[in-house]
Amino acid sequence: MKKILIVDDEKDIRFILAEILTENKYFVYTAGTIKEAETYIKKNTFDIALLDVLLDEKSRDGLFLLNLIKNKNKDLPVIMMSGHANIQIAVNSVKEGAFEFLEKPFNQERLLNFIKRGIEYSDLVNSKQELQENIFKSFDFIGETKEILKIKDTIEQVSNSNSRILIQGPSGSGKELLAREIHKTSNRRKNNFIVLDSLRLNKNNFEENLFGVSKDGTIIKGCLERANNGSLLIDNINELPLETQTNLLRVISDQKFRRMNDSLDIKVDFRLISSSSIDLKNEVLKGNFREDLFHRLNVVKFDLPSLKNRSSDIPLLVDYFFDKFNRNNINLKNNIKNIDIFYSYEWPGNVRELRNLVERLSILKNDSMENIDNIVYNYFNTNTNIEIKNSINSNLTLKEARDKFEKEYLMSQLKKYDGNVSKTAQSVGMERSALHRKLTNLNIKY
């Protein structure tokens, strides 16, 4: 049964709304004041909210509660109501994230239609997140560069230990994927792998999400309890408030904790994996992260390279993602792997960005390579005309233009083959010794 929160300072409105929604098989909780609604929102979960704009306080109104809800769950649908409706109020509500705006006196059919669409939207978002999560769980850790092979070797070494793991690397480089790989190869693989993303939580929700809570006789388990006998990944651990860092340190030391509003000690056995896109050691020096907690987390450290620093893995990743998206267009896949810009592009979004682009390109069927080239170069915010892109400044002498082109071309090819001169020479149609001389003349380091 879907749970609906109704907030309105008019008792009759609350009663009518509750009657209508209860008759339509919804569970309803009503609040008549800002303070009452604020307390309920902070401590409870629900599926949709109906909020009056003007409530019992002058300094805080329905938009305050809307922001409170969105900080806790940005995808939860909220319908704003007002008996003093005007276009500006409606516009402001939508800007703040309202799902719909309902003018009072309301039409019952319109109300129920809004509720139905809001819940359908919420279910769609949740199912999409679950689908993405299931797809992501099935991904493998792909790569053959020296850095990635070293990481794979370390995974094997720590697979059956209980050592705490710290993973650092740029956003999109595959930190969660690596954490899942560690869990899948461990002796905890049959138990839960729980993810707590610190970046997506409101600072007031850390403790509740981590430790769980006991309220009104109901127990809501936190990540620590759900990860018992399994693995817990705290993603973006640098975002943990200092107070929570202290409490987490105590859990690591004592292997027990208490739910919020509870006096019962709960023993836990879990493997802690932490990840961060920024250098935690620098955060310690800045005073933003506890040094003692850092040393507890940093037992085994993995440093994931950016995609631009492992570009020779790009053909493997393209192959892998094409296969994952169930596309059998081998010619398209091979042609895309040979587009030079894939190896000169910086890839600020790293492997995640490559995966998204391959998914987009994998739907192409009968497009010519010229069209595909244009799509790719347009994506990279470069000129869609390949000839113009590769053209050289006309102010250069012929020799300068030729040297500039050769240098850019050979650097791109070297990057594609991870600095392997023999493979590069074979690709560009040169003798290995001749390529060596050319690279030296052009002052290209390899």
Decide if pLDDT at 389 tops 50. Answer: no
- In this predicted structure, what is the pLDDT of residue 160? 83
pLDDT in tens, 392-430: 444 556 566 666 667 777 777 777 676 788 888 887 777
Mean predicted confidence (pLDDT) in 247-262: 93
Mean pLDDT for all residues in the chain: 83
Decide if pLDDT at 378 tops 80. Answer: no
Q: Where does residue 324 rank: exposed (0-12), middle (13-18), buried (19+ CB within 10 A)? A: middle
428, two tokens: 């560009």
Whole-angstrom distance, CA of residue 165 vs CA of residue 315:
29
- In this predicted structure, what is the pLDDT of residue 391? 42
The pLDDT > 70 percentage for the chain reads 86
Confidence bin at 366 (pLDDT 50/70/90): low
- In this predicted structure, what is the pLDDT of residue 224? 94
Instruction: Check: CB of residue 446 under 8 Å from CB of residue 439.
Output: yes
DSSP assigned state of 227: T
User: Which of 24, 47, 49 minimizes the C-alpha distance to 38?
Assistant: 49
CATH superfamily of 144-303: P-loop containing nucleotide triphosphate hydrolases (3.40.50.300)
- Torsion from C-alpha of 81, 87, 92, 93, nearest 10 degrees: 20
- In this predicted structure, what is the pLDDT of residue 446? 65
pLDDT in tens, 219-230: 888 999 999 999
Whole-angstrom distance, CA of residue 231 vs CA of residue 193:
5
Mean predicted confidence (pLDDT) in 243-249: 94
Decide if pLDDT at 326 tops 70. Answer: no
Mean predicted confidence (pLDDT) in 377-383: 62
Q: What residues does CATH 1.10.10.60 cover in the chain?
A: 395-446
pLDDT in tens, 58-78: 888 888 999 889 888 888 999
- In this predicted structure, what is the pLDDT of residue 385? 39
- In this predicted structure, what is the pLDDT of residue 155? 94
- In this predicted structure, what is the pLDDT of residue 85? 60
224, two tokens: 């620590």
Lowest model confidence (mean pLDDT) among 133-142, 335-344, 415-424: 133-142
- Determine the CATH number of domain 307-391: 1.10.8
Q: Which residue has the higher pLDDT, 224 or 382?
A: 224
Whole-angstrom distance, CA of residue 376 vs CA of residue 370:
10
Q: Report the DSSP beta bridge partners of residue 195.
A: 233
Confidence bin at 37 (pLDDT 50/70/90): very high
- In this predicted structure, what is the pLDDT of residue 365? 57
The pLDDT > 90 percentage for the chain reads 41
- Determine the CATH number of domain 395-446: 1.10.10.60
Mean predicted confidence (pLDDT) in 385-398: 47
- In this predicted structure, what is the pLDDT of residue 127? 65
Q: What residues does CATH 1.10.8 cover in the chain?
A: 307-391
Q: What residues does CATH 3.40.50.300 cover in the chain?
A: 144-303
- In this predicted structure, what is the pLDDT of residue 14? 92
- Torsion from C-alpha of 368, 374, 375, 377, nearest 10 degrees: 140
Q: Which residue has the higher pLDDT, 154 or 263?
A: 154
Mean predicted confidence (pLDDT) in 126-144: 65
pLDDT in tens, 160-218: 889 999 999 999 999 999 999 999 999 998 888 999 998 877 777 788 889 998 876 67
Confidence bin at 384 (pLDDT 50/70/90): very low
- In this predicted structure, what is the pLDDT of residue 390? 45
Decide if pLDDT at 431 tops 70. Answer: yes
User: Which of 132, 163, 174 minimizes the C-alpha distance to 359?
Assistant: 132
Strands across the sheet containing 27-31: 27-31, 3-7, 48-52, 78-82, 100-103
* DSSP, residue by residue, 190-226: TS-EEEEEGGGS-GGGHHHHHHEEEETTEEEE-HHHH
Topology at the third CATH level for domain 3-132: Rossmann fold (3.40.50)
Instruction: Check: CB of residue 221 under 8 Å from CB of residue 260.
Output: no
Whole-angstrom distance, CA of residue 7 vs CA of residue 51:
5
User: Which of 124, 126, 98, 119 minimizes the C-alpha distance to 21?
Assistant: 119
Confidence bin at 20 (pLDDT 50/70/90): very high
